[in-house]
Amino acid sequence: MTTLNYILLAVADPLKSETFYSRLLDIQPVEKAPTFVLYVLPNGIKLGLWIKDEMEPKPLPAGGVEVTFTEPDRAAVSATYATWKQRGATIVQEPSNKDFGFTFAAKDPDGYILRVFARAENPR
């Protein structure tokens, strides 16, 4: 069975992105080089930041994909929002109720949308 366990983002400057993600997520990468940075998140998912100028095929611009993090409830989403805002994240959507749950969104230095949400009890 094929398993999705790795997200790779094309970034302009992996070390700049490393500073952002380490501060935002309060974790350190397991691999760090000028062209590539790798995190292993607490749930085992890997997040790679690869310099876009070296990727083949060339990546498309950021915008069609969101990196999404789940929280158990509304209070946890609100706490993450406060923490990320305090850590300097650019908030692009304030916390709000949507049909799928309670959510907010931020963006990283390359424009990727980072969404945090708690699932609604009865999502549509």
pLDDT in tens, 24-59: 999 999 999 999 999 999 999 999 999 999 999 998
In this prediction, residue 1 has a pLDDT band, given cuts at 50, 70 and 90, of: confident
In this prediction, residue 119 has a pLDDT band, given cuts at 50, 70 and 90, of: very high
Fold of 1-60: 2,3-Dihydroxybiphenyl 1,2-Dioxygenase; domain 1 (3.10.180)
Q: Hey, do 1-60 and 61-124 end up sharing a CATH topology, with the first three levels equal?
A: yes
CA triple 44-49-50, angle to 5 deg: 130
Higher pLDDT, 93 or 3: 93
Distance, in Å, from the CA atom of 107 to the CA atom of 80, rounded to the nearest integer, reads 14
Given a cut of 90, whether residue 63 has pLDDT beyond it is no
CATH of range 61-124; options 3.10.180.10, 2.40.420.20, 1.10.8.640, 3.40.50.10490: 3.10.180.10
Predicted structure pTM score: 0.90
- Give the residue-averaged pLDDT of 72-98: 97
- Domain ranges within the chain, ordered by starting residue: 1-60, 61-124
List, in order, residues 6 or more apart from 84 with CB less than 8 Å away.
24, 91, 106, 116
In the prediction, which pLDDT does 122 show? 80
Mean pLDDT lowest among 16-30, 62-76, 88-102: 62-76
